[in-house]
Chains A and B, each alone.
Chain A
Amino acid sequence: MSDNSSGGESQDPHDSTPEPPTQPVEGVPTQPVPPVGPPPGSFGPPPGSFGPPPGSFGSPPPPPPGAFGAPPPGAFGAPPPGAFGGFPGEPLPPYVAAPPKHRRTGRFLALAVGLVAVVAAGAFAVTSFTGDDGSGSPEAAVEALFDAIGDEDVIGVLESLAPGERDALREPLEDINSELKRLGLIDDSVDLNHVPGFELDVSDLTLETEELGDGVVAVTITGGKVTAKTVPDDVPVGETLEDFVEENGGEVTIEESTETQDLADAGIELVAVKDGGGWHVSLFYTIAELARKAAGADKPNFGHGVKPEGANSPEDAVKHLFDAIADIDLEGMIAALPPDEMRALQDYAPLFIDAAAEDIAQFKSDGWEIRVDDLGVKTKGSGDTLLAQITTFAVSGDSPDGPFDVAFDGDCVTVHAPESAGISLPESDSGGNDELCKSDLEEATSSAVSDFVNKLSADAGFIVVKVDGEWYVSPVRTFLQTFVAALEALDREDIENFSDFVNSMFSGIEVDDSGIGPIGDLPPECEGILDDPTNDLDPNDPAVQACFDAMDDQGNGGGDDSSTTTTFSEDTTSTTTAATGELQDPVPPDGLGESFQLSDGRSADDVARACYEGDMQSCDDLYLESDFGSAYERYGASCAGRLPENTNYCTIAIGETAPN
């Protein structure tokens, strides 16, 4: 043991390793010189050594007078001579002196291990900061993607994508997931780290590569098997979606299934790109390459496509894009997109930009010219990703039939254009079609629709991102953000009402065991309309109107077979029932609450009365213009009580006039 009284942290006083005996130094206590215990080779204490020889071990001698509390000279930290351990009267333990040479060797070894560890740990830290993002080869990138898919590892899937693409997808995907959960379309078990209900297993993957360009490689899957298994109990169908399906005659019972597909037959080709020092699978390059091959075009000169041109501010990025759009400058539009996210488009653009230029030149030669005179942009958020919203704009230009201008001052849109230019607004209350204000929209639509529009306009806009110090408009983020904003503007009640709407639209449609199936005896005018879920059934659309008219004819018995068109029963699996057979007697419009004025000036009570008297268009008007969930709405939706409340569109279900 060495001295610690000199302070500092030069040595640890509690080190368990005894120091080798040293030469006595003045003022420094020394190791006990006489060995304690039996001499080497002898077992047990030497004869006569039992018991405490005076002053040989145990506690130190009592302090001299006047020195109480202070250690005897030379005794601090070191046992008195011959007093190493043990209790009074106990035999002394055998003394085993550690060979000093071994101790030194051990310490040197420990130091060497420490130094090697420092170097290794330093290298680890450096490589952690400078390590490549991505896989070591294109094949490894594709394998990583399939491994992540097989592990249901959404984080791994995103990681295997090109950095710009995963950055554009990750946050909106999380938001969409949250919104779908809030709306009850999927259940709470779904997360980026857990997608329940489906199990995928990819095995024996064999790949073939083809270099398309520098850092761009097509990877074709030439062999392997994918086994997909559905675990019915885990499929994350949300409450609202379940209700929606059941209300429409379906059933959310998912069969357990296992399917194995040979990937060699699937002809899957993915494109891997080198980015961030490693290889990643690129969704956009894959799509672009598929399109190129479908078009039979030559390979582009990768890295020499449209040169990205960012802006100095988020507002300028939006303005640059709008200027390019107004000028129909395709190259300018593509250049205004972020190079990390849209690199594929910028690389492949030369393949189609010249062909498009001819069409654009033709359009311009027809006399069209558009100018953005003013664009007010405000941004929300902070950091390198912002939401840019248009607050005002003024666009002017020339059409073949004369000049036009369109302006938005934040409240009203004003249009001045020749009728033949095809730029017009719906007729507003203020008369004419040259101005449409927010208030007109609010009056013309139900409160739910105007709420939806208000919420959507508050959160929708252009997402601008900063890449390498310049600002660009991100199309993928913008699209997904608009979708997220639309979901955010909805609530569960809206979904349920939509369910009612769909239910009413399909209330005459036969549903077979396999789900929504063949349309029974719908008029031919309705084929491709009512069975098209993307059709918004715009009543101004002549085809939709023709369909409605044909439905009316059938509903009024005008069809060839009045007993085989519309089913009013909620049991949509039944096939045909006479249209009039299930109509109930109408209920008088009493006690519906406080009346209000419809957009055409009629009072709600008058419209309800007309509905009661058999004018089905009045029922529809009442349904469409009443507040959600109100008594008036339900009265209109039920055709004055003649049909269930989820009928909604009485002109479709019954016809223009209800039979007496």
Chain B
Amino acid sequence: MRDAPAFDRSGGPLPSPDVSAVPVRFARKWAHWFTVVACLAVFACAFLPWATSGRASRSSYALARSAERLDLINAAWQRGLVVGWYFMPLAVAALWLAAVARRPFAVAALGTGVGALAVIGALAVRSTRLQPEFGTSATIVAGGLAVVGAVATAWNQKEIR
């Protein structure tokens, strides 16, 4: 059937469909949902083990609390990172709402923020003398994907405009 010639109203052959546009269409269609999923993954990864002390492992939030209690958060950027991380679930929830309400720029902005925060936070933990756990690697991957999805979402919107 596919080999059968296609004709238009006047009987002339129809032009071939643009097959290369399929992935682009797919990306345009799914970019913001991809961002949402990646940010949800970041949220989930925050509760995975991030570092161990002796035989005890700690999630990102337990680690942040320990660091605060032991007065290890001194620099302004460290403080900002911890505060941002406490607000990360709120940002993910807001991102979900933005996606449901079809606000692609909001999705892109929140996705970039959440993804970047995740990558920087996980890298910061990995740069300390603590023994890092797989939670940091998973967060870096999820955060990176969130940033990619957010950029794609923003790019799509720009293209459409």
Give A residues with C-beta under 8 Å from B: 4, 7, 9-16, 50-52, 54-55, 58-59, 61-62, 87-91, 107, 110-111, 113-115, 117-118, 120-122, 124-125, 128-129, 131, 133, 147-148, 151-156, 158-159, 163, 166-167, 170, 191-195, 383
Q: In the complex, A59 Cα to B87 Cα: how many Å? A: 48
- Chain B residues engaging chain A, CB cutoff 8 angstroms: 1-11, 14-15, 17, 28-33, 51-56, 61, 64-66, 69-71, 74, 86-87, 89-94, 96-97, 100-106, 129-131, 156-157, 160-161
The answer to whether A12 and B104 touch across the interface, beta carbons within 8 angstroms, is yes
Report the nearest B residue to A200, measured CB to CB: B54
Query: If A87-B2, A89-B1, A120-B93 touch, does A194 touch B104 (CB 8 Å cutoff)?
Result: no
- CB <8 Å contact, B55 and A152: yes
Assembly CA distance A54 to B3 (angstroms): 17
Task: Give which listed residue, B86, B92, B105, contacts A9 with CB less than 8 A.
Answer: B105
* B100 proximity list for chain A (CB < 8 A): 107, 110-111, 114
When the two chains form their complex, are residues B30 and A114 in contact, meaning their CB atoms are under 8 A apart? no
B69 & A90 in contact (Cβ 8 Å cutoff): no
Residues of A near B31 (CB, < 8 A) are 14
Q: Is the pair B86, A125 in contact by a Cβ cutoff of 8 Å?
A: yes
**Contacts A124-B86, A152-B54 hold; do A118 and B69 have CB atoms under 8 A apart?**
no
Is A166 within 8 A of B70, CB to CB? yes
Rank and list the top 7 A-B pairs by shortest CB-CB distance, nearest first.
A88-B6, A152-B54, A117-B93, A121-B89, A114-B97, A153-B54, A193-B53
- When chains A and B are docked, how far (Å) is the Cα of A61 from the Cα of B70? 71
Quick check: A59 and B93 within 8 Å, CB to CB?
Answer: no
User: Are A193 and B130 touching (Cβ within 8 A)?
Assistant: yes
Do A55 and B71 touch (CB < 8 A)?
A: no
Known A58-B6, A61-B9; contact A121-B90, beta-carbon cutoff 8 A: yes
Contact residues in A for B106 (Cβ distance below 8 Å): 9
Pair B28/A88 contact, Cβ less than 8 Å: no
Instruction: Report yes or no: A121 in contact with B53, Cβ–Cβ below 8 A.
Output: no
Can you add 18 more A-B contacts, CB < 8 Å, to A14-B28, A54-B10? A12-B32, A13-B160, A59-B17, A61-B9, A62-B8, A88-B6, A114-B97, A117-B96, A118-B94, A125-B86, A151-B54, A152-B54, A153-B54, A154-B53, A155-B56, A156-B54, A156-B66, A163-B69
A128 CB contacts on chain B under 8 angstroms: 61, 64-65, 86
Instruction: Kindly state the separation between the CA atoms of A114 and B100 in the bound complex, as whole angstroms.
Output: 8
Nearest B residue to A122 by beta-carbon distance?
B90
Complex contacts, B74 vs chain A, CB 8 Å: 383
Given A54, A91, A155, which contacts B66 in the complex, CB threshold below 8 Å? A155
Pick from A10, A52, A155, A194: contact of B6, CB under 8 Å? A52
A124 to B69, CA, bound (A): 18
How distant is the Cα of A7 from the Cα of B91 in the complex, in angstroms?
A: 25
Min CB–CB distance B87 → chain A (angstroms): 5
Q: CB distance A9 to B14 under 8 Å?
A: no
Closest chain-A Cβ to B23's Cβ sits at a distance in Å of 13
Contact (Cβ within 8 A) A170 B71: yes
A156–B6 contact, CB under 8 A? no
Given contacts A58-B17, A154-B54, contact A10 B102 (CB under 8 A): yes
Q: Which of B29, B33, B65 contacts A131, CB < 8 Å?
A: B65
**A159 and B7 within 8 A (CB):** no
Contacting residues, chain B, for A89 (C-beta < 8 A)? 1-4, 6
In the assembled complex, the CB of A145 is this many whole angstroms from the nearest CB of chain B, namely 13
Q: Which B residues touch A59, using CB under 8 A?
A: 14-15, 17
Max chain A CB contacts within 10 Å: which of B28, B69, B87, B96?
B69
Nearest CB of chain B from residue A552's CB, rounded to whole Å: 53
**A193's contact among B54, B71, B86, by CB below 8 Å, is which?**
B54
Do B2 and A125 touch across chains, with their CB atoms under 8 A apart?
no
24 example contacts (A-B, Cβ-Cβ < 8 A) are as follows A4-B160, A12-B102, A16-B33, A54-B8, A87-B2, A87-B17, A88-B6, A89-B6, A122-B90, A125-B86, A125-B90, A128-B61, A151-B54, A153-B53, A153-B54, A155-B56, A155-B66, A155-B70, A156-B56, A156-B66, A163-B69, A192-B53, A192-B129, A194-B53
Q: Nearest Cβ distance between residue B57 and chain A, in whole angstroms? A: 9
B29 and A16 within 8 A (CB): yes
Specify which of B10, B51, B55 lies most central, judged by the most chain A CB atoms within 10 Å of its CB: B55
Query: Of B14, B55, B70, B129, which is within 8 A of A52 by CB?
Result: B14
Q: Say yes or no: A54 contacts B9, CB within 8 Å.
A: yes
A121 and B14 form a contact (CB under 8 A): no
> Considering residues A50, A88, A91, A156, which has the most beta carbons from chain B within 10 angstroms of its beta carbon?
A88
A117 to B91, CA, bound (A): 10
* With A90-B1, A155-B66: A193-B52 Cβ-Cβ less than 8 Å: yes
Whether A7 and B161, one on each chain, are in contact in the complex, defined by CB atoms closer than 8 angstroms, is yes
Cα separation A50 to B103 with both chains bound (whole Å) = 41
Cβ–Cβ contact A54 & B7, under 8 A: yes
Question: Given A87-B17, A155-B66, A166-B70, are A118 and B61 also a contact pair (CB < 8 Å)?
Answer: no
In the complex, which residue of chain B has the Cβ closest to the Cβ of A55? Answer: B9
What CA separation (Å) do A193 and B125 show in the bound complex?
A: 13
Q: Closest B residue to A10 by CB, please name it.
A: B102
**Chain A nearest Cβ from B92, distance in angstroms:** 7
A9: which B residues are within 8 A, CB to CB? 102-106, 157
**A111-B6 contact, Cβ under 8 Å, with A91-B1, A121-B90, A151-B54:** no
Task: Give the distance to chain A from B71, nearest Cβ to Cβ, in Å.
Answer: 6
Q: How far is it, in angstroms, between the C-alpha of A383 and the C-alpha of B14 when the chains are bound?
A: 76
For the complex, give the distance between the alpha carbons of A148 and B96 in Å: 38
Minimum CB–CB distance from B72 to chain A (whole Å) comes to 8
Is the CB–CB distance between A118 and B93 below 8 Å?
Answer: yes
Which A residues touch B131, using CB under 8 A? 193-194
How far is A588 from B53 in the complex, measured between Cα atoms in Å? 59
Looking at B30, B61, B71, B92, the one whose CB has the most chain A CB atoms below 10 A away is B71
A338 to chain B, nearest CB (A): 14
A88-B6, A193-B54 given; A14·B156 CB < 8 A: yes
Q: Which residues from chain A contact B4 at a C-beta distance below 8 Å?
A: 51, 88-89
Closest to B161 in A: A7
C-alpha gap A194/B128 in the complex (Å): 14
Q: Which residues of B contact A110 (CB under 8 A)?
A: 96, 100
The listed residue (B11, B70, B86) touching A159 by CB distance below 8 A is B70
Q: Give the Cβ gap from B83 to chain A, nearest Cβ, in Å.
A: 8
How near does chain B come to A124, taking the closest CB pair, in angstroms? Answer: 5
CA distance A182 to B5 in the complex (A): 82
Closest chain A residue, CB of each to CB of B43? A121
Please report the C-alpha to C-alpha distance between residue A154 and residue B4 in the assembled complex, in whole angstroms: 75
Chain B residue at minimal CB-CB distance from A88: B6
Q: How far is the CA of A117 from the CA of B52 in the complex (A)?
A: 29
Q: How far is the CA of A389 from the CA of B68 in the complex (A)?
A: 29
Alpha-carbon distance between A59 and B69 when the two chains are bound, in angstroms: 65
Residues of B within 8 A of A113 (CB): 96
Q: A114-B93, A128-B86 are in contact. Are A155 and B53 (CB under 8 A)?
A: yes
CB pair B69 A166 closer than 8 Å = yes
